[in-house]
Amino acid sequence: MRRRTAISLVLGAFAPSTKAATRGLERFVGSPAGTAIVIDVKSRRLLGIANAPVAARFVAPPGSTWKPFVLSALIERGRLGNDNSFLCPGRLRIANRTLDCSHPPLTGPIHIDSAIAYSCNCFVAQVAERFEPGELKRVLEGYGFASRSGLIEGEEACGNVLDARSTEMQRLQALGEDGSVITAAELALAYRAIALKVGVSGMRPILDGLEGAVEYGTAQNARVAGVKIAGKTGSAIDASGQPVAWFAGFLPSRSPEIVAVVMLPGRSGGADAAPIAGRIFEAYHAGHL
Q: What is the pLDDT of residues 199-249, one digit of tens each?
A: 998 899 999 999 999 999 999 999 999 999 999 999 999 999 999 999 999
pLDDT at 3 over 50: no
Show the CA angle centred on residue 64, arms to residues 142 and 184, nearest 5°: 60
- What's at 8, amino acid-wise? S
CATH architecture observed for domain 2-285: 3-Layer(aba) Sandwich (3.40)
- Report the pLDDT value the prediction gives residue 165, as an integer from 0 to 100: 85
pLDDT at 21 over 80: no
How much is the mean pLDDT over the chain?
91
Q: How far is CA 62 from the centre of its chain?
A: 6
Mean pLDDT of 75-87: 93
User: Nearest-CA neighbor of 56 among 160, 182, 159, 183?
Assistant: 183
For 127-181, write each residue's pLDDT tens digit.
999 999 999 999 999 999 999 999 998 899 999 999 998 999 999 999 999 989 9
Residues 61, 178 contacting (CB under 8 angstroms):
yes
- Report the pLDDT value the prediction gives residue 100, as an integer from 0 to 100: 96
- Report the pLDDT value the prediction gives residue 23, as an integer from 0 to 100: 63
For 26-75, write each residue's pLDDT tens digit.
999 999 999 999 999 999 999 999 999 999 999 999 999 999 999 999 99
- Report the pLDDT value the prediction gives residue 116, as an integer from 0 to 100: 98
- Report the pLDDT value the prediction gives residue 8, as an integer from 0 to 100: 39
- Report the pLDDT value the prediction gives residue 6, as an integer from 0 to 100: 45
Q: Decide the pairing of beta strands 35-40 and 46-50.
A: antiparallel
Residues 51, 169 contacting (CB under 8 angstroms):
no
- Say how many CA atoms lie within 13 Å of 228 toward its Cβ: 12
